Copies of this chain bind each other. A is one copy, B any other.
Amino acid sequence: MDYFSSDFKLGILGGGQLGKMLLYETRKWDIYTKVMDASPQAPCKIACNEFVLGDLMDFDAVLAFGKDVDVLTIEIENVNVDALEKLEEEGVKVYPPPKALRTIQNKAQQKLFYVDNNIPTANFSRFAYASEIKDSVENGGLEFPFVWKSAQFGYDGQGVKIVRKTDDLDGLPPGECITEKMVDFKNELAVIVAKSSSGEVKTYPVVEMEFHPEANQVEYVICPARIDEKVAQKAQQVALKVSEHIGHVGLLAVELFQTLDDTILVNEVAPRPHNSGHYSIEASYTNQFEQHIRAILGLPLGKTDSKVAGVMVNLVGAEGHQGDVVYENIQEILAMEGVTPHIYGKKQTRPFRKMGHVTIVNQNMGKAREMAQKVKEKISVISK
């Protein structure tokens, strides 16, 4: 099919910042797009060709949305997979495939998938109800501290909690969940794997992530990771193994732990462009959004190497601020060389909400990392 000059239509479920950045690429190639999101203020509302207001978890809404598109993709995992399966049966190319999405959507299923395929991951227990956790602790089946994760619909650090004592169990949502052994790690890493519908596979360099301890959100993403080459190779091999078995098409972002003894464990995966790949817009030969489009359209994959070292800083809403957003000191960071802010266009800020990101690129990694620190110190996302 000739995507560049025909009646081809690409559907995107979700109209947030990832969708918005995907739309830069569809605009660049003049690919016709149709986006669905539940919010009339969705960042994607402009720049797509058609915008549909609708609930991504609603079977009928997703089914109706997908009927007239040729290829359907997502920018968020929390979508109605039953509708995607139906659309796939009806001949729509759904990437990531519903089967892979189902495995990923439920964290318990995801963990079982790792075990079934002999992919290294932290030990875990599965609970149909959160109330069962307390029993397990009491009868010695589970030891503090551990990580609680909701099986469904975690996003941006929601649905994850570190449990250090019995009191921490109070107030957890009642539903299906897993608990994971706390991993002592040197680094959190990520590898983005691109797989095209024609079967071509490429990996991006391993990136290193620094998390904000309270918000459980990434604070810096550093590409390439400042790790031993052997560890980087191992991380890429593990990511490729996940990619191979999970049956995705498009991007797969694989988050990993590098443990104290340099074992690589899979933390979790996302079958789409990912925060850990935002640096690629400024640093890579082919950015992750263009790569996702290439992959789902079956076009040749682009070069994943970097032109320069890149560090990405998330712009999240400051604590104590809620309301109309102001990007304090953005002019100061614009005066720094190789610094590019991205503003997602959400009008309201709240603590830890992802409002944008800033990429810092430099020929020298040390310099880029140093500047990222300054960017982080200068800019803040506050309310008016």
Contacts and interface: CB of A to CB of B under 8 A. Distances in A.
Interface of A: 2, 4-5, 20, 23-24, 27-30, 43, 46-49, 285-286, 290, 294, 299-300, 302-303, 307-308, 324-327, 330-331, 334-335, 337-338, 340-345, 347, 361, 384
Residue from A27, A43, A337, A343 whose CB has the most chain B CB atoms within 10 Å? A27
A29 B290 CA distance: 19
Given A30-B344, A324-B5, A299 B46 contact: no
Contact of A294 (B29, B46, B334, B345): B334
Q: How many copies does the complex hold?
A: 2
A47 B27 contact: yes
A46 B329 CA distance: 30
The listed residue with most B CB atoms (<10 A of its CB), out of A5, A303, A335, A384, is A5
| Chain A interface SS verdict (over half) | loop
Contact of A327 (B4, B23, B342): B4
9 contacts: A4-B327, A23-B27, A24-B27, A27-B46, A29-B341, A29-B343, A30-B343, A30-B344, A299-B334
A303 B363 CA distance: 13
Contacts of A300: 331, 334-335
Nearest to A43: B30
A260 to B, nearest CB: 36
A157 B302 CA distance: 34
Contacts of A308: 307
A379 to B, nearest CB: 11
B326 A2 contact: yes
A220 B154 CA distance: 49
Q: Which 10 pairs across A and B sit closest by C-beta, in order of nearness?
A: A300-B335, A30-B345, A30-B343, A47-B47, A303-B337, A307-B307, A300-B334, A4-B327, A29-B343, A307-B308
Contacts of A341: 29
Nearest to A20: B27
A75 to B, nearest CB: 15
Given A4-B330, A300-B335, A338-B285, A343 B47 contact: no
Nearest to A325: B5
A374 to B, nearest CB: 14
A228 B52 CA distance: 56
Nearest to A343: B30
A286 B360 CA distance: 12
Given A28-B342, A294-B334, 8 more contacts: A4-B327, A5-B325, A20-B27, A24-B27, A29-B341, A30-B343, A290-B340, A303-B337
A326 B325 CA distance: 44
A183 to B, nearest CB: 36
